[in-house]
Amino acid sequence: MLSANMLKNAMGVGIPGTGMVGLPIAIALGAIVGKSEYKLEVIRDLTPATLAMGKEYIAEDKIDIRLKDGNVDKLYIEVICEGCGHSATAIITTSHTNFVYEEKDGNVAYDKRTAAGEVAEDGDIALNMRMVYDFAMTTPVEKLAFILKTKEYNMKAAAESAKGNYGHCLGKTMDRPLSHGIFGTSIFSKMISRTALACDARMGGAMIPVMSNSGSGNQGICATNPVAVFADENENTEEELIRALTLSHLTAIYIKQSLGKLSALCGCVVASIGSSCAITYLMGGDYQRICHSVKNMIANLTGMICDGAKPSCSLKICSGVSTALLSALLSMEGKYVSEVEGIIDSDVDKCIHNLTSIGKEAMCATDDMVLKIMTSK
């Protein structure tokens, strides 16, 4: 049993190494070959033999997938397994590897649920844009160097994707002669291509690991690859890249604190805001110009729906990347959307709050309609 958002996000996504999409094969392989200690790489021991077993498991109609009724977290997974006269239940909520309940044959082994049925939160650090910026700019660079792993993983995913045909091949399309004739081989085209390539592979079910942000591989890609490409092409130093990637990822984390891990708002909007901040910094922008880039982004992309993880996510990611670059360029020219326009406020943190309020509250009915459309096709 799944929450509506989990159901939506799992319906059309490619499952690595299977050539298949959706929940049935993911559930089957989780039961056959999955190891919880692998966390988000739970099926990395997949083989052709176990894949065949998974397909047989589905054919035998052993899996029943349902929408969880009632008021549950947007990220909610409840699995009930029955066989050989025994039954067991496990529940994950609030984050993708957070088990809150385990029970076998009526004997509860673990229960971290609250009375309301939701897990109690420990309380994150309450971030704001100034805090994010200061941390990225002033923390000793050696303490931030780990962030280069995001570039290593996610740019490698783009390179591996170029060797195959994944998803809608948007990244490869950007590298074809017709695209070069239109876009050239500019920084812009390379940013889009390298980001889309990694997303194509991720959504197409390639056996390629990526570094995530807030539990999302696509958000990790979108917060990393445009920044890494721009830094390389702009000949920024390694320290500047480290600080830019930290700014990008931490901005996305800050926004997701308020929005939640799953929402009606496309996650590429959030990750692209982080990218735009980082690109502005790499262009030489200060805190004020970075805030202006945030405002330009929110004025443009707010309201983009999430209709699940799937190959066409690469199209939305490209929209986010192109807007990130345009917003940064506009900001560096001293131009930005002001508080007299729409949902933009003079205070950057209030702008972000306006964005997340729309995504978390105002778009709930939109989310319901999206799921209704997806499940009635």
pLDDT at 7 over 60: yes
Residue 121 lies in a domain: no
Whether 240 and 296 share a structural domain: yes
The number of domains in the chain is 2
Lowest-pLDDT range, 78-82, 115-119, 142-146, 241-245? Answer: 115-119
Whether 73 and 138 share a structural domain: no
Average pLDDT of the segment spanning 332-345: 98
Element (H, E) at 187: helix 187-203
Whether 24 and 134 share a structural domain: no
Interatomic CA distance for residues 197 and 218, integer angstroms: 11
- Count Cβ atoms within 10 A of the Cβ of residue 349 and give its class: 0-12 exposed, 13-18 middle, 19 or more buried: middle
> Token pair for residue 270?
């959030």
Whether 152 and 224 share a structural domain: yes
- Count Cβ atoms within 10 A of the Cβ of residue 359 and give its class: 0-12 exposed, 13-18 middle, 19 or more buried: buried
275: domain CATH number is 1.10.4100
Whether 24 and 78 share a structural domain: yes
Interatomic CA distance for residues 374 and 377, integer angstroms: 6
Whether 337 and 258 share a structural domain: yes
Interatomic CA distance for residues 116 and 149, integer angstroms: 39
Last residue of a domain, one of 80, 111, 142: 111
pLDDT at 121 over 80: no
Whether 190 and 92 share a structural domain: no
pLDDT at 41: 84
Contact by Cβ (8 Å): 193, 175: yes
Residue 117 lies in a domain: no
Place 123 in a pLDDT band, splitting at 50, 70 and 90: low
Q: Which domain holds residue 40?
A: 4-111
Residue 120 lies in a domain: no
Beta bridge partners of 107: 104
Interatomic CA distance for residues 268 and 256, integer angstroms: 11
Average pLDDT of the segment spanning 162-170: 94
Residue 87 lies in a domain: yes
> What mean pLDDT, rounded, does the chain reach?
93
DSSP letter for each residue of 300-316: HHTTPBP--SSTTHHHH
pLDDT at 72: 87
Dihedral Cα 308, 50, 215, 222, nearest 10 deg: -70
Which residue's entry shows tokens 């890609």? 221
Report CA 31 to chain centroid distance, whole Å: 25
pLDDT at 170 over 60: yes
Residue 180 lies in a domain: yes
Residue 124 lies in a domain: no
pTM comes to 0.88
Contact by Cβ (8 Å): 105, 88: yes
Whether 257 and 184 share a structural domain: yes
pLDDT at 115 over 50: no
Q: Which residue did the predictor score with more confidence, 289 or 12?
A: 289
